[in-house]
Structure 1
Amino acid sequence: MSQFEHDDIDSFFAEMQDVKPIASDDKAVLHDPEKALAEKQKRAAIKLSVREKLANPLSMEGVKPVPPDDFIHFQQPGIQDGVFKKLRLGKYPLETNLTLSGKTLEQSRDLIYSTIKSSHERGVRALLIKHGTGENSKPFPALKKSYVNHWLRELDEVIAYHTAQPMHGGFGATYVLLKKHPQQKLINREKNKKG
């Protein structure tokens, strides 16, 4: 060992001579079980609130009244006019029928959301919503029809809709066209390859 190393060690011990080890009971408590539980419950409540909002994002505000005998319609940009015309004329097979008669607005909202989501998952392309004309509904005529018109625009799965033909309910019903489910696109690609 060189003289310099020896001096460094002596110097180190000289500096450290009055340092005492920390007693074992001087531990800092970083975990407060009650506080941790309260935080966990708070996070769970926030998560539940967010989940409830995500469970059905359809809004109840900003609905513009539609007259009972008006056509309601919507076509996402990029949807071919021929596809929209086929929907308007009721020429798509209606794989699902949803009747809102006797339901509250909240029940109708939940039914529309769950039906559209599950129909899309099953690969359904066209469905019929029977909302009625609501000529005598309160606080304004065509209440459910107006909400249906509002809600369908809020759903990404809906690419077009139009008031139904008289044989399917006329002004009291709406045809809805859903975008293809990714799985359905894959099935169609496979069919086209074989053909």
Structure 2
Amino acid sequence: MQDNELDLFLQEMTDVKPLSQDEVRQQTEFSPTLAQQARRKAAEQEMEYDPNYLSMEYVDLVKPDDPFAFCKDGVQQGVYRNLRLGKYQLDATLNLLGKTLTEARSQLIHFIDDCHKRGIRTLLIHHGMGRNSKPHPAILRSYVFKWLPQLPAVLAAHTAQRQHGGYSATYVLLQKNAEQKRQNRERHTKN
């Protein structure tokens, strides 16, 4: 049966001739127009810094009295414990009460960036407990808990002590800015 198929195939292929080999041309180097270069540069700059990169999509809802605790690797346990216990002087405060999610996100980003640039390390963020927020309780609080770990300058955060607002506020510890790091290196290399 296979011999019969092979014979049939060869019979059909008798008048087929191989294609002559075409010359392969070298592609000339592509040079984008000035307009294309400008569009590409604008797109790259837009990708570098999106001031609203914090997600407004799905969030795990927290209860109004759920504590929040976040600490990046490398933060000393003593430093985190002091933050958690409210032992550091609070150098700046942000009040997000009554803000929409969009306003809160924008203000949080600008506040953290401004404090980091100015060398402010310990902050207090008032977001409220959200007991009466609709359609779900603690929506703003849930988003603040989601956003803080996404901010590169934030080293740690924890629910505030009662005297600073309790569950309606959060302590935030920022990393040192470039100038503070330089001063710290100089101080430790002199000895």
Is the TM value for this pair above 0.5? yes
Instruction: Point out where structure 1 has 5 or more consecutive residues left out of the alignment.
Output: 1-34
Q: Which amino acid aligns with 1:85?
A: R
Matched, 1:186 2:182: yes
Task: Return the match for 2:113 from 106, 111, 117.
Answer: 117
Shift of 1:73: 1.0
- Aligned position for 1:22: none
Give the structure 1 partner of residue 59 of structure 2: 63
What percent of counterpart residues are identical? 48
TM-score, with structure 2 as normaliser: 0.74
Equivalent of residue 77 in structure 1, options 73, 78, 86: 73
Structure 2 CA distance for aligned equivalents of residues 190 and 59 of structure 1: 38
Q: Which has the larger radius of gyration?
A: 1
Q: Which residue of 1 aligns with 2:94?
A: 98
Q: CA deviation at 1:137?
A: 0.7
Find the counterpart in structure 2 of residue 141 from structure 1. 137
Match in the other structure for 1:172: 168
Instruction: Return closer, same or farther for 1:188/1:44 CA change in 2, 3 Å cut-off.
Output: closer
TM-score of the pair, normalised by structure 1: 0.73
Aligned amino acid, residue 128 of structure 1: L
Number of residues of Structure 1 aligned to a counterpart in Structure 2: 159
DSSP 3-state at the match of 2:50? helix
Q: CA RMSD in A?
A: 2.3
Specify which of 147, 153, 173 is matched with residue 149 of structure 2: 153
What SS does structure 2 have at the residue aligned with 1:177? Answer: strand
3-state SS, counterpart of residue 175 of structure 1:
strand
Counterpart in the other structure of 1:30? none
**CA gap 1:93/1:46 in 2 versus in 1, 3 angstroms:** same
In 2: Cα distance, 1:183 partner to 1:48 partner: 25
